Amino acid sequence: TWTFLTPNVTPSHAHSPTYPSLLQVAVRVRPLTNEERQRGCYRILEVQDDNMLTLMNQATDRNDHLRQKREKDKHFLYDRLHGEDSTQKEVYEDTTKPLVQDVLAGFTATVFAYGPTGAGKTYTMVGTPEQPGIMVQALNDLFQCLNDPSKISKTKISMSYLEIYNENIRDLLQPSGTLDLREDAKTGVIQVAGLSEREILTTKEVMRLLTKGNKERTCEPTAANKTSSRSHALLQVNVRKSAIKGVGEEVKVGRLFMVDLAGSERAKQTQNKGKRLQEGAHINRSLLALGNCINALAEGQAKFVNFRDSKLTRLLKEALSGNCRTVMVAHVSPSHHHREETRNTLVYAERAKKISKKIRPTVLDITSHVTHYKQMIKELQEEVERL
Ligand code: ADP
Ligand code: MG
């Protein structure tokens, strides 16, 4: 007999110093590209330390007289900042490596790459053979654990890679038509009917599959960019661990979702028309639904989220329902050309982060109100006694 066990208790990362909460928000600033340098782009971002990023109000040429006007600079705080010189290894180790242990223990975890087109999402997630990204490094780490001879249980690792484009789901490893979402009547688990699943054994194979899969992603020219990723790419890694228990076999399934989201730029700015505009609306719908889920997650109100709002949130329902760890890596360009999109991205990421911290001051407010009323009652009682 096979029993599928998906733990639904919260793993104890509350004690982990690097991951005090279930939602972590990191920001990565990519380097200026050669083209940007040649065009004379200047930087509008300054990384202050591991947590603080400054969006500068004015030009930053070293000898710029406008430096005096810097008082309008805006400072943003995040769990982690990765500057222009951050390596793929650092980004992986700070954001995703801590999740791998959860997944091996049978939990679900999610990593999102958020940001406008060209800000470095795909570089962070997939990277190159020389500079492998988060997806490749995570699988590599999972493979390392497999090779541990001390493990008595059998472990299998498999992956599926799909895209959501215009609210349609397509298999990126075995491209065919559009696939449907099915909900298991008994378990409530949402699955993509007919999605291929590859058992994988080497890191090289992963890189090859992801690169091939990315070529299948729907990319078409828009006014803002020659090639723009209008689709969300979702890599799902399943880790199945089986162990003999009594007369049967117990199977634990850990899942790691790694998502390269569609560009977050607004349709208005890309001057899209017709089809493009419709895509924009779909992308915004998914991103909006995701934003709502993440906010609710940060507030601990996942119960009130409508996962059905988009395909993306339906697929990630389990991951977003509040008992899994989620990491968002927001991406920005340092160039002054992208000021508006950079600001939007930084605000979005900050909002996701701030909500969990907001709870405390609210409680303090209530306490001060209570103190105030207690004082009033005391004064009134004294007045009554005097009468
Ligand atoms: P997105 O997926 O967000 O549209 P890409 O990942 O394709 O953006 O990045 C745009 C360009 O910038 C690519 O040429 C990519 O190689 C380069 N790039 C992005 N991030 C980095 C980085 N951290 N270091 C070096 N090059 C980068
Ligand atoms: Mg991309």
Q: What percent of the chain has pLDDT over 90?
A: 45
Q: Out of 30, 81, 112, 225, give the residue to mutate to test ligand 1, the one with the largest number of ligand atoms within 8 Å of its CB.
A: 30
Q: Distance, CA 213 to ligand 2 centroid (Å)?
A: 12
CA of 66 to the centre of ligand 1 (A): 30
Number of the ligand 1 atom closest to the C-alpha atom of 119: 3
Q: How confident is the model at residue 339 (pLDDT cuts 50, 70, 90)?
A: very high
Residue of the CA atom closest to atom 22 of ligand 1: 30
DSSP secondary structure, 56-75, as one string: -SS---TT-GGGGGGGG-EE
User: Counting Cβ atoms within 10 Å, is residue 193 exposed (0-12), middle (13-18) or buried (19+)?
Assistant: exposed
Residue 267 and residue 324 in contact, taking contact as beta carbons nearer than 8 Å: no
Ligand 1 centre to CA of 332 (Å) is 10
Binding site feature residues for ATP: 115-122
Q: Give the residue whose CA is nearest to atom 10 of ligand 1.
A: 118
- Which protein residues are within 6 Å of ligand 1, measured from CB? 30-31, 33, 115, 117-123, 229, 331
Residue 161 near residue 286 (C-beta atoms within 8 A): no
Using CA atoms, how far apart are residues 148 and 283, in angstroms rounded to an integer? 42
The answer to whether residue 88 scores a pLDDT higher than 90 is yes
Q: Which long-range contacts (CB under 8 A, 24 or more apart) does 104-107 make?
A: 104/142, 104/145, 104/239, 104/241, 104/254, 105/7, 105/11, 105/252, 105/254, 106/5, 106/6, 106/7, 106/239, 106/241, 106/252, 106/253, 106/254, 107/7, 107/11, 107/254, 107/255, 107/324, 107/325
- Whether residue 341 is predicted with pLDDT greater than 70 in this model: the reply is yes
Distance 269 CA to ligand 1 centre (A): 20
Cβ atoms of residues 7 and 107 within 8 Å: yes
pLDDT of 188 reads: 79
Predicted pLDDT at 266? 73
Ligand 1, atom nearest to 86 Cα: 23
Amino acid making up residue 287: L
Position 24 pLDDT exceeds 50: yes
pLDDT in tens, 25-36: 999 999 999 999
How far apart (Å, rounded) are the C-alpha atoms in residues 108 and 257?
8
For residue 12, pLDDT beyond 50: no
Say how far apart CA 271 and CA 116 lie, in whole Å: 15
**128 CA closest ligand 1 atom index:** 16
* CA 243 to ligand 2 center in whole angstroms: 39
**Which pTM does this prediction carry?**
0.81
Ligand 1 atom at minimum distance from 123 CA: 6
Atom of ligand 1 nearest to the CA of 331: 3
What are the two backbone dihedrals, phi and then psi, of residue 223, each rounded to the nearest 5 degrees? -65, -30
Closest ligand, as measured to the CA of 117: 1
Token reading at 280 = 């924009």
Q: Which residues are annotated as a binding site?
A: 115-122
Tens digits of per-residue pLDDT, 194-241? 999 999 878 889 999 999 999 888 865 554 444 457 789 999 999 998
Average of pLDDT values for 129-137?
95
Task: Classify residue 194 as left (phi > 0), alpha (psi -120 to 50) or beta.
Answer: left
pLDDT of residue 64: 55
| Ligand 1 centroid from CA 131, angstroms | 12
